[in-house]
Structure 1
Amino acid sequence: MTHNSATESKTQFLEIVFLWIAGISAAMQFSKFSVSYDALLQYYQAGETLTGAALSLVGVVGLIFGAFAGLIASRIGYLRVLMGALFLGGILSFIQASLPSFSVLLITRLLEGFSQLGVVVAAPTLIAKLSAPRHKSLTMGLWGTFFGVAFAVTGWLGKNILEQHGIQTLLFGHGTLIFTMGVIVFFTLRKNAVLDMSASVPNPNGFLQQLLQVYRNPRSLIPSLVFLCYTCTLVSLLTYIPRLVSDTKVQALMMVCLPLLSTSGTFIAGALAQYIMKPQKVALMSYSGVALSACLLTLVATQPLWFALMTGVLILFLGMIPGAALAMIPALARTPEEQAQGYGLIAQFGNLGATIGPPAFALLITLYGLFGLVGMVLCICLLGSIFSFIASRISTHKTV
């Protein structure tokens, strides 16, 4: 362990950027189907609900195995898990690029869940290991933007590829990217001394006992519930809100700008949580901003530019929530073990939100249009605000 203490004082930024890009390529497993939603709907003729399920099915594996993943990865090795996840993701994208039957497509989406979960559990753990203590807030803030960046890049480049070359090229391009990142990460990190985690002592408790301990700990659980409300909303809004605008130019602009605003919100939240207010208060403020913006959407529904502008404000506030949730974990945790549990649960609850959000929003939009969307957003904001308030009460009673 002594060699680690010497090297941990230096942050390995290049390696961290590669891991961040690997995370972006994994998040594109959601965004590639979001941007190609209409094309997939037209090609497979499977209906809104089943196509929405294909979008969210990636999260099912994380929903079921999220908490296990952190425990298993610590035994197998985070780098091995990351490598396997990236290569599996590449292979599955190549299969999807052949446009197989819809049932085979659904199976590949389910298997992509293992790939996505492996990356979101292993990559931030490796980033934290490669970061000096004084840079951990910065590097974890960078990691927190990977989802929004993935949607921004896919909305820009992916949309152009889709329009000019079709779904197959888009899916093949994603497979090439995620596979290439696997190769780069392997050659960059395989001999990195800082990532030698062989000295870690295995937990003597069984898996079930460890899991129950994680779920019973409010310092790990509450930030994950705050994060759950965010992921339940973000994927759905980025997918469905632009389609509520009749102007195609405004719609195209929204698909590029909204993810960028989400990413900007994450950076803003990190700065606020570090210098101005506690992350719990940042989360409360963010959910209030999302709720107010959603209500104002109903007043400008017939004006595309104003609707796009108000949606941008909503997404900016929404993007602040993951920054606040990630900052809550070290703020609330009393031990490194609690921090690890918190990040593991965030991976699981994030997948839960991404799984249940799109079908629920699709159903309400089909039934009630914009008012169905706004009503769902308000309910989620209420829950998120309650969880944020509970988190603020926990920090008040924090013991050292």
Structure 2
Amino acid sequence: MRRVAALALPALVVLAAEPLYVLVDTAVVGHLGREELGSLAIGGQVMALAVWLGTVLAYGTTGRAARRFGAGQREAAVSEGVQASWLALAGGVTIMVTLELVAGPLTRAIAGSPGPVADGAADWLRIAALGAPGLMLGTAGNGWMRGVQDTRRPLYYVLGANALSAVLCPLLVYPLGLGLEGSAVANVIAQTAVGLLFVRALLTERVPLRPHLDVIRHQLTLGRDLLLRGAAFQACFLSASAVAARFGTASLAAHLIAIQLFFFTALALDAVAIAAQSLVGAALGGDRVDEAKLLARRITTAGLVSGVVFAFLVAASLATVRPWFGADAEVYHQAKTAWWFFAGMMPAAGVVFALDGVFLGAGDIRFLRNLTLVSALGGFLPGIWLAYLVDGGLRGVWIALTLFIVLRLAGLLQRFAGDKWAVAGAVR
């Protein structure tokens, strides 16, 4: 368990760094006024898509690099990072150019109408888009370095860049008078800095930097499956918000509070999954199948224990909903409806996230894709819209979310009980 903690704790800090910086950025811009904060919300929502795409690339790279590393092929593991970095650079440049071209129409569409909020969002987005190549390079770097079980340097890189941005943001926004655009400039500087640091880490490995199209093609195949899986998640969470909104403003507000805290707990539990990717992938890459299975059982137990701990923390935190979030009596009443489902699903969620990491490390991506699609299309989405049709309120929304977790848990445990996932070898 020490090995799990040694990888999971730095990963947790890296995962938490970006949301914490977003809070700082939001606080700084919030003092400019309501319109500027609205512009940041729209622009940030668009840039969050780039973060998601980068995370997909990182997850695919970690598993492949870990298997190479476990087989004693460190140079080949780092070479996976080289190819992922070429892919990240191409993707980052594509995102940057696309956003420069469509920033205006896109932000007006999200805002619902032209106006100062949409215009401000477009101006912010055009500047922030310049950081997309660095952002994508940073996530690719995180992927291969986790694969070779180096989580210390990414910790320093990400924390250093986010600290720089947190200092620059208020300076650029206020004393230097850049206003909202200062926030975007600070983002670009931080993302470019972290991207260059990960490129420097590749250069110090002294491996060939030439692109290999066959490796990139394999990474794109993994990326495709992970994107489809991620799209299923997005459809589920967007549908949950859409249905909650149809039950009234109080239901939507209560759902927003609960789901954002769910995302935060998922972030913490995901640190265990990252450790699982690296350790299980390395064991299978080194043909140590029994070790991989033992690690998987221990990591699953760690996920269960973490989920139980979070269940108690979530249950205890209900009392903080009113003072922390300014919830009125109706919002608090609606939040209580969702809260017990939220707390009750935590042990199952802990196991689900841990096993996700195990199978990602094992390279069992196609199974994860299919299970997520079946659970979403066959369970969650029919459940959520049935809740709307029968006027099930927020309780119905969270029953459907719980069903989504339970269906994935059943499928993962069934797969875990067999041997098909534990395929040895440097690549799968």
- The two structures have a TM-score, normalised by structure 2, of 0.43
- The two structures have a TM-score, normalised by structure 1, of 0.45
Which of the pair has the greater relative contact order for Cα pairs under 8 Å at 6+ separation?
Answer: 1
Q: Which has the larger radius of gyration?
A: 2
